C-alpha cells in the first residue's frame, strides 16, 4: 500500500516523489513508517548536536534578534535574522551604544563588534588568533564555491595586491581603451534615449576591462569567456546565499546539486589551456625574460604559483576564475550603485563632475596621477560605497584560539566576529546627515586639512569607513578597482547623459542576509551627451 504523493521540502530545494515505492518498491507500509521515523530522529539528533556545539562556543554578550534558548528558538532566530539582518544590526548598534552583541546565523553565533577601539584591536591581531581566510571560507561556503585550495594557499592575493596594483601606470591606456570599446559595443551613443539593464551591462564591461589585464586580447572580448565568468560569479553568490540557510552537516548533501564549480573550471580551462601552454613554451625557450613578455595575470600566476603547481593548468585556471569573481562581483555592484545615484540626480552632479574632469584633462591629460586629483569624482564614488557597498558587515574573522578582548569579552576558539559596517557608516558621530547621499561629502572633508585629504581618499580604510575592510586584509584589489571604476564613470560623464526610467527615484537595494546588492532589474536610460561638451 502506498503512502501517496509526498515531498521533502528544504528552502530553495524540493525533492518530490510519487510515492515511497518510488524509492523502495519492496518496503512494506510499516517499514516505510519506520524509515521515515528513523530519518526524522536522525535529523533531530544531528540538529541537537549541532545546536549543542553552537552553545559550546557561546559568548557572554547580549543577544539581538532571538532569545537564544532552546534549539528551536535559535534556529527560528537565525532564519529571522537572515530576513531582517540590516535592521537588526542598526538596532543593536543603537541599543548597546558601541557595545558588543551577538546574532544567530545557522551555523554559529556571529559576534558583532561596534567599538572603534575593538575594531582596531582585531585589525592588529595576528592571523593565528583572528583568521581572515578561515572566516571567508565559512561565510562564502568556500569549500563548494571557490574550492579548498583557494583558501589553503591564497598565493593569488599578493599578486592582486602587488603586481596588479603596480601595473596601473603602465597599463592605464589598455584599461581606458577597453572601457571605450566596451561601451561602444554595448551602449552606442545615440541622440535618442536607450534603455539599458544596468547591472548586467556593467558586469560585462567590468569583465572585459579587468580581463584586458588578466588574459589580454583577444580573449577578453570573447563572448563565451565573458559569459562563463559572469555565470561563475553569479553562481558563487547564489550558492553562498542558499547554503547559508542550512547547518554545516547538510551542506555536503545539498551543495553538489546547486554548484557550477567543476563545470565552470572545465569550461574556462578550454579557453586558458592553450594560453598557458604557449606561455610555458616561452619560459622553457627564453627563461624568465624575453622580448614583449606579457605583463598580465597569466604571467603573474605562473611565476607566483607554488613550484608543485605552477604547471597545473586546471589550478591556474581556477585562480583566474577566483580573481575574476572578486573583480566582477565587487566592481560591477559598486559601479551600478554609483550609476544609480548619478542617474537619479544627474542635474545636480553631472555638471560639476564634468567641469573637474575636463579641467584636469586639459592641463594634464589622462594619467593615473591626474585621476588622483579628481576629488569630486573620488568623493562621489566613495559616498556611494558608504551608503551601499556589497555587504552590511566587514572585517569578518574566525577566532582560532581562545582570546579575551580589551573590554573583557571572552571569545572562545571557533567564534566568528565581524564589524558592523551598516551602522558605522550611518553613525552621526562620523557623518553629518548620514542617511542622505551627499556626493561631495568627502571632498569637503579632504579640503579641511592635509591629513584629512589623505585619510578621506576612496582607497583609504579606517575604523569608521569599512567598505574595503580595514588593515592588512583590506581588499587587495581596491587600488585597481577604484581606478577602473573612476575611468568608467569618466567615460559616462564625458560621453552620455543618463536618467532612470522612474526619473529621480533611485532603485531600492536588494538585501539578502549579510549581503547587499544593487537592484538587478532596474534599467538606466543613456543618450549621447548633448550640452557643454569640450
Query: CA quadruple 323, 324, 327, 329: dihedral positive or negative?
Result: negative
Task: Extract the C-alpha cell encoding 61.
Answer: 554578550
Answer for the pair 62, 102: CB distance below 8 angstroms, yes or no. Answer: yes
Q: How far apart (Å, rounded) are the C-alpha atoms in residues 105 and 77?
A: 8
Look at residues 244, 237, 239, 242 and name the one whose alpha carbon lies nearest to residue 259: 239
Q: Enter the C-alpha cell of residue 8.
A: 521533502
Cα→Cα distances 280→96, 114, 153, 274, Å: 58, 49, 22, 10
Question: Cell 564625458, residue?
Answer: 494
Kind and range of the H or E element at 418? strand 416-419
State how far the Cα of 234 lies from the Cα of 200, in Å rounded to an integer.
11
206's grid cell: 567590468
What is each CA distance from 156 to 146, 233, 260, 360, in whole angstroms? 13, 17, 21, 35
> DSSP for 432-475?
SSTTS--TTHHHHHHHT-HHHHHHTSTT--BTTB-BTBSSTTS-
Distance CA(190)–CA(328), nearest Å, equals 27
Question: Which of 312, 332, 319, 318 is CA-nearest to residue 261?
Answer: 318
Dihedral over Cα of 476, 479, 482, 485: its sign: negative
Q: Which residues are annotated as a binding site for heme?
A: 475
- Do 246 and 254 touch, CB atoms closer than 8 A? yes
- Per the annotation, binding residues are 475
How big is the chain, counted in residues?
A: 534
CA distance linking residue 309 with residue 267, whole number of Å? 20
Q: Measured at the alpha carbon of residue 505, what is the angle toward residues 503 and 507, in degrees to the nearest 5? A: 120
Amino acid at each position: 500500500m502506498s503512502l501517496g504523493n509526498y515531498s521533502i521540502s528544504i528552502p530553495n530545494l524540493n525533492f518530490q516523489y510519487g510515492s515511497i515505492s518510488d524509492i523502495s518498491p519492496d518496503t512494506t507500509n510499516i517499514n516505510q513508517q519506520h524509515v521515515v521515523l528513523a530519518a526524522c530522529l536522525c535529523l533531530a539528533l544531528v540538529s541537537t548536536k549541532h545546536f549543542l556545539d553552537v552553545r559550546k562556543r557561546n559568548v557572554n554578550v547580549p543577544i539581538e534578534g532571538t532569545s537564544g534558548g532552546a534549539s528551536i528558538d535559535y534556529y527560528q532566530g537565525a532564519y529571522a535574522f537572515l530576513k531582517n539582518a540590516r535592521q537588526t544590526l542598526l538596532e543593536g548598534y543603537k541599543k548597546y551604544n558601541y557595545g558588543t552583541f551577538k546574532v544567530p546565523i545557522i551555523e554559529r553565533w556571529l559576534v558583532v563588534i561596534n567599538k572603534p577601539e575593538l575594531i582596531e584591536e582585531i585589525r592588529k591581531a595576528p592571523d593565528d588568533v583572528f583568521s581572515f581566510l578561515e572566516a571567508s571560507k565559512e561565510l562564502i561556503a568556500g569549500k563548494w564555491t571557490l574550492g579548498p585550495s583557494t583558501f589553503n594557499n591564497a598565493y593569488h592575493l599578493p599578486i592582486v595586491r602587488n603586481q596588479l596594483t603596480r601595473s596601473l601606470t603602465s597599463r592605464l591606456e589598455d584599461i581606458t581603451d577597453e572601457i571605450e570599446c566596451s561601451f561602444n559595443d554595448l551602449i552606442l551613443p545615440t541622440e535618442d534615449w536607450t534603455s539599458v539593464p544596468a547591472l548586467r551591462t556593467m558586469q560585462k564591461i567590468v569583465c572585459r576591462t579587468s580581463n584586458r589585464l588578466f588574459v589580454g586580447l583577444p580573449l577578453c572580448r570573447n563572448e563565451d569567456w565573458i559569459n562563463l565568468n559572469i555565470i561563475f560569479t553569479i553562481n558563487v553568490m547564489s550558492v553562498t546565499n542558499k547554503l547559508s540557510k542550512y547547518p554545516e552537516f547538510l551542506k555536503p548533501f545539498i551543495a553538489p546539486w546547486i554548484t557550477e564549480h567543476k563545470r565552470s573550471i572545465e569550461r574556462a580551462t578550454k579557453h586558458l589551456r592553450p594560453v598557458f601552454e604557449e606561455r610555458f613554451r616561452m619560459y622553457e625557450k627564453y627563461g624568465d625574460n624575453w622580448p614583449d613578455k606579457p605583463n598580465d595575470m597569466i604571467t603573474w600566476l605562473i611565476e607566483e604559483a607554488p613550484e608543485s603547481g605552477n604547471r597545473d593548468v586546471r589550478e591556474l585556471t581556477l585562480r583566474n576564475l577566483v580573481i575574476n569573481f572578486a573583480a566582477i562581483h565587487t566592481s560591477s555592484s559598486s559601479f551600478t550603485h554609483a550609476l544609480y545615484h548619478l542617474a537619479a540626480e544627474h542635474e545636480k552632479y553631472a555638471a560639476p563632475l564634468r567641469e573637474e574632469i575636463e579641467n584636469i584633462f586639459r592641463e594634464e591629460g589622462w594619467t593615473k596621477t591626474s585621476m588622483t586629483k579628481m576629488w569630486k569624482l573620488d568623493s562621489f564614488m566613495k559616498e556611494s560605497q558608504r551608503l551601499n557597498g556589497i555587504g552590511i558587515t566587514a572585517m569578518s574573522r574566525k577566532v582560532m584560539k581562545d582570546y579575551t578582548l580589551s573590554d573583557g569579552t571572552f571569545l572562545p576558539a571557533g567564534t566568528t566576529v565581524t564589524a558592523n559596517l551598516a551602522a558605522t557608516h550611518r553613525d552621526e558621530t562620523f557623518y553629518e546627515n548620514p542617511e542622505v547621499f551627499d556626493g561631495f561629502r568627502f571632498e569637503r572633508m579632504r579640503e579641511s586639512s592635509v591629513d584629512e585629504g589623505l585619510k578621506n581618499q576612496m582607497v583609504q580604510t579606517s575604523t569608521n569607513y569599512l567598505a574595503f575592510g580595514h588593515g592588512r586584509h583590506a581588499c587587495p584589489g581596491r587600488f585597481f578597482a577604484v581606478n577602473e571604476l573612476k575611468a568608467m564613470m569618466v567615460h559616462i560623464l564625458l560621453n552620455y547623459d543618463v536618467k532612470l526610467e522612474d526619473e529621480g527615484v533611485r532603485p531600492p537595494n536588494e538585501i539578502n542576509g549579510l549581503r547587499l546588492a544593487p537592484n538587478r532589474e532596474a534599467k538606466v536610460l543613456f543618450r549621447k551627451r548633448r550640452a557643454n561638451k569640450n
